[in-house]
Amino acid sequence: MAANRHTSGALDGGSSWRPAVFFAGVLAGIIAASVAAGWLLDAQAAPTVATAVRLAGLVAAIGWTFFGVSTLLGSRLATDVGPATRAALLSALLAGGSGLAELAAQKLSLPLGVVLQLAAAAAPGLLFWRAFKAAPQHRWLATAVGGLAGTGFLVWFLARQGLSAAAITIGAVVAITAAFLAGLSLLRAILSGSGWAAVARTVVDEAIRMRAALVLLILLVLSLPLLPLLLDSGERLEYRVQFLLTWAIGSTTLLLGLLNVFLGCGSLSGDIDSNRIHMTLTKPLGRPEYLLGKWAGLVAVNALLVVVAGIGIYSFTRLLALSEPTSQGDRYAVDEQVLTARQSVRPTHPSGDAYAREVETVIDELEKDLPDAFTRDRQGTRQNIREQYFRKWHTITPDKVSEYVFSGLGHAKKTSPIVHFRIRPYGEGSGYDRADVSFALWVNGRPFPYRDGEHLPYTLAGQTTHTIDIPTEAIDDKGVLRLTIANKNLVLPGATRPTTIALVPGKGLELLERIGSFGQNYLKCLFVVWLKLAMIAAVAITSATFLGFPMAVLLSLMIFVSAFGSGFVGDSLELYTGMDSASATVRDMAELRYYSFYDFLKKGEYWEAFKVIMAVVGELFVKVIPSFDRYDAVTAVATGMNVSVWTVLECVLRVGLLAPVVLGLLAWFCFEQRDLVRSNT
């Protein structure tokens, strides 16, 4: 029997306890030697050398422990140790390493402690992977648990040492990564069927295999935790929270949009170029079902990433909101004007329907007296006159007191202590861009504010939006609030009368009432973002059905940019061509471009004629693509404005249903006509 004894070394020979005793004895010797040497050197008045010896002993002890545990768990001895025992052993190793890192940080130096803690945090994942080699069914789970445990100890260590920013960043990166990988596993389990579900599952797998997609995922995972670190702690907390919400959600939308473009185009083009599509379509799977699976896979990945990123952004926002504000007013602005959901209430004329009838009567009289002014565009002219009267109603002359009636405030009276009166005045004809504007305010006939027996006027900077808090107890039982404004401007030098106060119609004169919570508003915003990404996914799939990968990506990016920046693109086209079509009808725009093109050709100005053609093409391109500016939920959330249910429903119908259906039919038609033997790349 002795001849058959295994002779691979001290680890596997002899009794099962001898290897452990051997490594424990060596470890005890290293520790004892370093402690004794350090004590002797301290006695010889050599503290620097003593510290160096202790440091060398500490490093040797950690290295020997790591090597010993790794070797023991990888030897034949490990086959007799169950998963629970291995987990307990490695957890003890992690706790011991963290304790040594804490000791090093306290007694030696913080950087050394951080390095040791990093090593201790990385060790469990590596050792769990090695230890569970014989139990592959538990290997991935054990490694993930070990890595998360190591990260938890690392984050705790950094937080205790005052490195809170590093702790939050590392913890967030690992948490987002873990949530994404867990979500991928869940998606693969949900899409475990055949047909289109199998195609969708391949898209989910490609989300972490394709290099372009992987780069974008890494940027997303890193950008969310790092963005709060870029904020200036000396800035108002209100602005920091708004900046975080705007840029975090905006950058997430941008990165996920690019991910959809590259992943959608690359997935379908890759199947065609590599001939994998022939193996896929030989199964009982038609081309329409194949395209549906590709789109469904992208939509599923989008849902996962929007949820993961959304939870991260919400957590960072709430954490940032707990920071110290610059003032009590700053704290109030964060709670009542940012982390909330408000709706706008615009004023109605005190005369009600009588005012509208009076304006229409005046317009009818003007049309009788000046019929030529209404010949070219009767409806447009009448609308311009209405707008002039509307602006006149928003103008407060020195000899005038204007009253603005806000209705439908019964809910605010019952649920909120205040409503926000937002006003943007400017001194008309003052000659100064931001001249101060003074006015007196009455709320339902009572002077406001009224302190110490005196009605105090307001003096505000012109061309700037200001918010005035008005108690809801001033609202009457019918939910009506009447605001009366009197011009109190001073007479400027060289003038004979005070400056007229002009109020910007719309957002320059409105009441904001709270109707919901920030959480509900934020969820609606994420849903709108997901709908937009679903359309971009359909665009990418459709482009790849008739174009090769490079051209499909280019076309998808053009549509992506046009959809998200349709307003900017339209303004750029007008600046480029010098044609302002803001108030023109479709017929007027067509006639203008036709005559302009003809005149440029007659004059030999071919470049200008080409610009007209490009303007027509560009405008048609922008008109066909749904404008995402209509559903700007990000700005609404960042400014505490409610994302209305009607906005969400309209986005569902136009962006989430109509656009993908139209694009899907186009993709089906193009894909049915395409020869899959030859590549379009």
Residues 250 and 299 in one domain: yes
Residues 92 and 226 in one domain: no
* Residue 582 forms part of a structural domain: no
- pLDDT tens readout for residues 110-148: 666 666 666 666 666 666 666 666 556 566 666 666 666
Q: Cα–Cα distance between 462 and 662 in angstroms, integer? A: 48
What band does 76 get if pLDDT is binned at 50, 70 and 90? very low
* Residue 671 forms part of a structural domain: yes
- pLDDT tens readout for residues 463-482: 888 888 888 888 888 888 99
Q: Do residues 305 and 220 touch, judged by C-beta distance below 8 A?
A: yes
Residues 265 and 275 in one domain: yes
Count: domains in the chain: 3
Residues 210 and 313 in one domain: yes
Q: Cα–Cα distance between 110 and 332 in angstroms, integer? A: 39
What band does 355 get if pLDDT is binned at 50, 70 and 90? confident
Q: Which distant-in-sequence residues (6+ apart) come within 8 Å of 4 by Cβ?
A: none
Residues 50 and 68 in one domain: yes
Domain that holds residue 176: 164-340+517-565+627-681
Q: Do residues 341 and 335 touch, judged by C-beta distance below 8 A?
A: no
Residue where a domain stops, chosen among 162, 182, 209: 162
* Residue 620 forms part of a structural domain: no
Q: Is 478 helix (H, G, I), strand (E, B) or coil?
A: coil
CATH of the domain at 459: 2.60.120
Count other C-beta atoms under 10 Å from residue 494's C-beta.
Answer: 6
Least confident range of 51-55, 277-281, 401-405:
51-55
* Residue 497 forms part of a structural domain: yes
Residues 230 and 314 in one domain: yes
Say whether the peptide bond before residue 660 is cis (omega within 30 degrees of 0): no
Q: Cα–Cα distance between 583 and 564 in angstroms, integer? A: 23
Q: Read off the pTM.
A: 0.73
Residues 195 and 59 in one domain: no
User: Is the model's pLDDT at 386 over the cut of 80?
Assistant: no
Residue 172 sits at φ, ψ, to 5 deg, of: -70, -40
Count other C-beta atoms under 10 Å from residue 521's C-beta.
Answer: 21
| Average pLDDT over every residue of 654-666 | 89
* Residue 587 forms part of a structural domain: no
Least confident range of 10-14, 66-70, 409-413, 445-449:
10-14
| Average pLDDT over every residue of 250-269 | 89
User: Is the model's pLDDT at 681 over the cut of 50?
Assistant: no
User: Is the model's pLDDT at 452 over the cut of 90?
Assistant: no
* 373-409 burial: b if 16+ Cβ within 10 Å, else e: ebeebeeebbeebeeeeeeebbebbeeeebebebeeb
Q: Which pLDDT score, from 0 to 100, does residue 367 have?
A: 72
* Residue 616 forms part of a structural domain: no
Residue where a domain stops, chosen among 128, 162, 196: 162
Q: Cα–Cα distance between 600 and 610 in angstroms, integer? A: 9
- pLDDT tens readout for residues 514-570: 888 898 999 999 999 999 999 999 999 999 888 888 888 898 888 888 787 655 555
| Average pLDDT over every residue of 492-500 | 66
Residues 119 and 174 in one domain: no
Taking 3-state DSSP, the helix, strand and coil percentages for the chain, each rounded to the nearest 5, stand at 70, 10, 20
DSSP state of 658: I
Residues 271 and 405 in one domain: no
Residues 148 and 169 in one domain: no
User: Is the model's pLDDT at 401 over the cut of 50?
Assistant: yes
* Residue 10 forms part of a structural domain: yes
Least confident range of 87-96, 189-198, 519-528:
87-96
- Report angle CA 437, 443, 444 to the nearest 5 degrees: 140
Residues 508 and 473 in one domain: yes
- Which residue matches tokens 């054990």? 142
Residues 521 and 552 in one domain: yes
* Residue 577 forms part of a structural domain: no
Q: Cα–Cα distance between 638 and 244 in angstroms, integer? A: 8
Q: Cα–Cα distance between 59 and 525 in angstroms, integer? A: 51
Q: Cα–Cα distance between 533 and 410 in angstroms, integer? A: 38
Residue where a domain stops, chosen among 124, 143, 162: 162
Nearest residue to 203 via CA among 318, 303, 127: 303
Least confident range of 104-108, 356-360, 447-451, 485-489:
104-108
